[in-house]
Amino acid sequence: MICEASDNVALARGVQGWSVRVARGLNGFWGREGGVFDDRYHLEILSSPTQTRNALCYIDPKFGGMDPFSSAWWFDGRQDESWKRGVATPEMRTVAEPTTWLLRVGWRRSKAGLIAIDEVPAAGRD
């Protein structure tokens, strides 16, 4: 997940709210109670076009299909949009427009170009 926040407090509250909502949903689905996530999350502040592009490579529909609540439908940085064929278009926009320069246009300044559907940055390949 990539998220933007105005400061550390807003980020912490946003992640906490998201994790509570997801945990309640999963616990309801599984018919159980208790914690779902660890107390901490990994924070990585994206600071360059290449780093941001690499992070965006992981936010896509290649792992088990497109998440209808993701930003995938509104992300125009893919080389190929054929993954959308046969998948219902969401009824409404489920995510906010990016506000930071790096997520709006900066990542496109990376020399690698648009993102392939099966692309994984070199650091993530095994």
Q: Is the dihedral of CA 126, 82, 116, 52 positive or negative?
A: negative
48 in Cβ contact with 107 (< 8 Å): no
The Cα–Cα gap between 115 and 60 comes to 10
Looking at the DSSP bridge assignments, the partners of residue 102 are none
Give pLDDT, residue 81.
82
Residues 80-106 have pLDDT tens digits of 888 788 777 888 887 888 999 999 999
Q: What is the pLDDT of residues 6-63, one digit of tens each?
A: 998 999 899 889 889 999 999 999 999 988 887 777 788 999 999 999 988 887 655 5
Beta-bridged to residue 78, according to DSSP, are 115
Alpha-carbon dihedral sign for residues 121, 63, 80, 71: negative
Q: What is the pTM of this model?
A: 0.77
Q: Output the pLDDT for position 120.
A: 80
- The DSSP letter of residue 74 is G
DSSP E strands, the chain: none
Question: Chain-centre distance of CA 49, in angstroms?
Answer: 16
Residue 66 has pLDDT above 70, yes or no: no
pLDDT value at residue 91 = 83
